[in-house]
Amino acid sequence: MIAADWVSWTTVAVLIAGFGSGVLAAIVGVGGAVLTTPFIRFLGATPLAAVGSTVPAILPGALSGTIRYAREGLVEWRIALTCGLSGVLFAVVGALLAGVVNAGYLMIATATLVLWSGAGLLGSAATTPGDGAAAAAAASECLRRDSLRNLVGLGIVAGFLAGLLGIGGGLVLTPGLSVGVRLPMRRAIATSLVAVMLMSVTSLVTHWWKGHIDWRFAAPLAVGIVPGAWMGSRITVAASDLTMRRICGALFVLLGAVYLAREIIAL
């Protein structure tokens, strides 16, 4: 009876975490695993299972958010496809290496990446172009020859980390597109989420094949993330670009600090 109660409460807790990660995924343009990976690790998942079990939820969450953003015209499709397709193969490479690299250090690497992303967003100038003609000009500029190479490189790094850390790659893409490429924040979030969705497919297949997924955690996460992503996308569409930059940066810094402290203590 005690074991059954534990399973029941754990399932409910993971469903709630899935919902929260869906909100976060749509607001920040990530896969949501920055929240769910440490959470299911706290509930007893092994470090490797904590990485792999978050991946099945990334695809439905990213798809749910993408549909809303596409309706609002916030997705820069050519940039999203360039980054996403560039990272697809490297997501497989990262997922294969996840079983070789010390899983505890993977958790610390994830936390460090979260902190770096948050600091970059908070420290960047709030002068990105708006969502009108200036945004279209900025997107066109991104696809020039020199910028195209940068987008491909950004996609490769994001894809590799998506497979290695199970985070969807958005922690690199969102600040990269906003700070580096200088897309408006809301467009960077929407565009990142599309690329995340593409890279999550190969990452999911590889982690599944390698046996890194614990479906006791993965299934409730996948169920809870869809309504969360729908709500998060509504918040993002309604907010200003500067507000989203501040929200994203603050959330990343907070999550990264808590995440890093816990994993260092656990070593």
Q: Residue 217 above 80 pLDDT?
A: yes
According to DSSP, residue 74 is labeled: -
Report the pLDDT value the prediction gives residue 81, as an integer from 0 to 100. 92
- In the three-class reduction of DSSP (H, G, I as helix; E, B as strand; rest coil), residue 75 is classed as coil
Q: What is the pLDDT of residues 43-97, one digit of tens each?
A: 878 777 877 888 888 888 888 888 888 988 889 898 999 998 998 888 888 878 8
Total domain count for the chain? 1
Domain carrying residue 198:
2-266
Residue 54 CA to residue 86 CA, distance in Å, equals 22
Give the global pTM.
Answer: 0.74
**Segment among 31-35, 39-43, 231-235 with least mean pLDDT:** 31-35
Which of 226, 165, 190 has the alpha carbon at shortest distance from 28? 190
Q: What is the pLDDT of residues 141-165, one digit of tens each?
A: 555 555 788 888 889 988 887 777 7
